[in-house]
Structure 1
């Protein structure tokens, strides 16, 4: 008599086990996509000094080139929700990473073979277009996985991005030291990125995502209704009247500016401002992204213990101190110590902002997209502004602009408070 009940219990346990296995597989897929995104970005950043030397550009023109990446990223943010709604996460992510891969190849071709700055600009625009759309997709999918598993995972997901930047920076430094051309370096990275994402996204559900409803059927169900363009437009515009979203955007803006400025300029600032070699500049960038990775790996438990608001305020203070050390460095310990504090300070702003935007699951995709767009505004205006200021007053002095924005992020921190935290 016990056998049937045991069999029934076992049968009842199977769906839960299957659902958990599917959620863990989706989590790992999102981890892989975050990693590849960081790898691709860092591979370009680590070779900026080499591209600058190859094309014989001044600091202002380097800023104009990077503007192509930023502008493409903003366009990608706008396209992300439509791509998710039209194709579903797996195919949309594959399209995005393929676009970035083509851009990386064009960057290498223009910097090494044709010596064409316009071609490099066009390649960076494609890199940004793919990365910007992928950014929204992986954060929306990450928030869905986070809710399904019931744990704080967003900082760890962004740690995978930072880990990808660490690996990318190390590979870039090695390629620079071994005199590997930018073309061959970026071609290999592009092929690796596409292959990884194509394999990883097989574990993601095919559910459609609409701006009005956020991730639909997150467990992998089919048949979610596709929204009309009027519904998508109304949902996307409505979030811009939400004061809390705008304040969360201010947090992300300040912290993203601090992170993006390092991605774009810390290697070049180390070379031009502190006299390091191109390889040494790539190593400093690697130290920065390693610090960001550590901050994000440890960030989840710290946030669970102390809450988002005090952690964000502490990050702002640490980041400001790190920038001051880096700019005023008179010796290696100040330079590398500043890079470490700068990285830790900037590490949690974007992932916490994404989690805070996704707290309200209704209209989640549009809310995440809006906050990401505000953050990417820093990527859009940061490169040319810092390039122009750097040309006029020196790149190290230009970095003081970041201090005010990090202070703004610290002041806006209460907007990210957990909805149910006592």
Structure 2
């Protein structure tokens, strides 16, 4: 990647990444908003819908595992553009299968394609995000993830509007795809070419081989960051999938109150991420991770042993504040060393997505026996482990330890994070 970018080019690059982070959130919310209509069109049971949605998980995991190799060969800009195009194709297939064709198999295939593109794009945009951080010398990744949340909100609102206007699933999703493609056409030129590409251009070292990229999974720091992200993503994913039911069943409230509780959680998390850059630049990664884990722990304790919905609401807000930082801060730390950045960000992203995909079903199985409220004890344990390992997120230039050799320091280190 070209190191001689002007301040204006860096600002435009930063702005483009904010918008690009919003696009996958917009796409996901567009699909989720139409799941009731798709289920009704297919005449699918809850179990059958579960298997159809499993296509999304399959595609996502494959995409995550492929992403670092694609970025190493082609660079982040190309991979983001191509992966968003792939996920757009998947979204159109979902729209066709869930409306005109009324085929569960088509929806499964569409979701697999959609998930594959989204998985690749997730790693690529986080690699770009860490590169912008190094260029701007600021902590930005939490803000980028807040943009993802904002994109999700816009997608959900668009879905609600489409339903009120009586648009078919196919037309709605095709319109969503048109927005994504138009946005990428406008944003493409603002992103420098070659971010994350293993050409030796970002360091004095030769490019990584495929074998070396796979070897990052054995690095102690990468493993610890993966565990941190896994634990904090478990806290986020569990709330996303189960919080309304936890509130309804655990505190005997109405479904409307369950939705309100989830809104409190998402709102708290979005606010935290929006302010995250300032906090990270002021206090550093390790302090922020420990503080956020403490917020999540206290919040979970209040929810688990709270006596009423009002008390639980306070805990839910604290839980949201705490769950906001683990994923973006872990990925930012994984991107400290420009050599192999795509491989490390990909490895840590995979850990986070495994928590999103595997954690909530695990919680449901446990909750069947002991209740969802008590099952949150396992989330509490995971967050506590993440807090204890938070020292691993310390910038590598501050202690002289590189993920790949002890005497290396990351160039363009962000000294305040």
TM-score, scaled relative to structure 2: 0.80
Whether 2:127 is the aligned partner of 1:150: answer no
Aligned equivalent of 2:108: 121
Aligned to 1:39: 26
Aligned with 2:223 (options 240, 246, 262)? 246
1:77 CA displacement: 1.6
For the Cα contact (< 8 Å) 2:77–2:195, is it kept in 1? no
Residues paired across the two proteins, number: 396
Contact 1:169 1:282 in 2 (8 A): no
Q: Cα–Cα, structure 1 residues 166 and 333, in superposed 2: closer, same or farther, change >3 Å?
A: farther
Following superposition, the deviation at residue 140 of structure 1 comes to: 1.1
What is the correspondence of 1:361-372 to structure 2 with a 5 Å cutoff?
Answer: 361-372=338-349
Structure 1 residues not aligned, in runs of 5+ = 1-14, 219-223
8 Å Cα contact 1:45-1:264 kept in structure 2: no
How far the C-alpha of 1:408 sits from its partner, in A, is: 1.9
Distance 1:378 1:181 in 2: 33
Q: CA deviation at 1:66?
A: 4.0
* 1:199 aligns to 2:186 (yes or no): yes
Residues of 1 paired with 2:109 and 2:234: CA distance?
23
Partner of 1:209: 196
Residue of structure 1 in register with 2:383 after alignment:
406
Q: Deviations over 1:339-389 (max 9, x none)?
A: 433322111111111111112233222211111122222134235434545
2:29–2:155 Cα contact (<8 Å) kept: yes
* Structure 1 pair 340–208 and aligned structure 2 pair: CA distance change class (3 A): closer
> What is the correspondence of 1:173-192 to structure 2 with a 5 Å cutoff?
173-175=160-162, 182-192=169-179
What secondary structure sits across from 2:228 in the alignment? helix
CA distance in 1 between partners of 2:227 and 2:174 (Å): 36
Shift in Å, 1:138? 0.8
Contact 2:286 2:394 in 1 (8 A): yes
Check if 1:315 corresponds to 2:302: no
Q: 2:149 aligns with which of 148, 162, 166?
A: 162
Within a 5 Å distance, the mapping from 1:384-395 to structure 2 comes to: 384-389=361-366
Cα shift at 1:251:
0.7
Aligned partners of 1:51, 1:329: CA distance in 2, in Å? 37
Q: Aligned-pair distance for 1:242?
A: 1.3
Write the distance in 1 (CA, Å) between the matches of 2:311 and 2:161: 24
1:247-266 equivalences in 2 (<5 Å)? 247-266=224-243
Higher mean C-alpha deviation, range 327-336 or range 123-132: 327-336
* Map of 1:12 onto structure 2: none
Q: Does structure 2 conserve the Cα–Cα contact (< 8 Å) formed by 1:170 and 1:283? A: no
**1:381 match:** 358
Rounded Cα–Cα distance in structure 2 between residues aligned with 1:158 and 1:326:
25
Quote the Cα distance in structure 1 between the aligned partners of 2:71 and 2:10.
19
Instruction: Tell me what 2:272 maps to.
Output: 295
- Unpaired runs of 5+ residues, structure 2, are 399-414
1:28 aligned to 2:21?
no
Distance 1:92 1:283, change over 3 A: farther
Q: Which residue of 2 aligns with 1:4?
A: none
Q: Which residue of 2 aligns with 1:221?
A: none
Distance (whole Å) between structure 1 residues aligned to residue 306 and residue 92 of structure 2: 36
SS in 2 for 1:207: coil
Structure-1 separation of matches of 2:357 and 2:239: 14
CA-CA distance at 1:243 after TM superposition: 0.9
- Please, which moves more after superposition, 50-59 or 291-300? 50-59
2:334 matched residue in structure 1: 357
Deviating more after overlay: 153-162 vs 58-67: 58-67
Instruction: Give 3-state SS (helix, strand or coil) of 2:209's partner.
Output: helix
Residues 46, 267 of structure 1: 8 Å contact kept = no
Cα 1:62–1:261 shift into 2, 3 Å: farther
What is the TM-score of this pair, normalised by structure 1? 0.80
* Deviation of 1:76 (Å): 1.0
Higher mean displacement: 259-268 or 286-295: 259-268
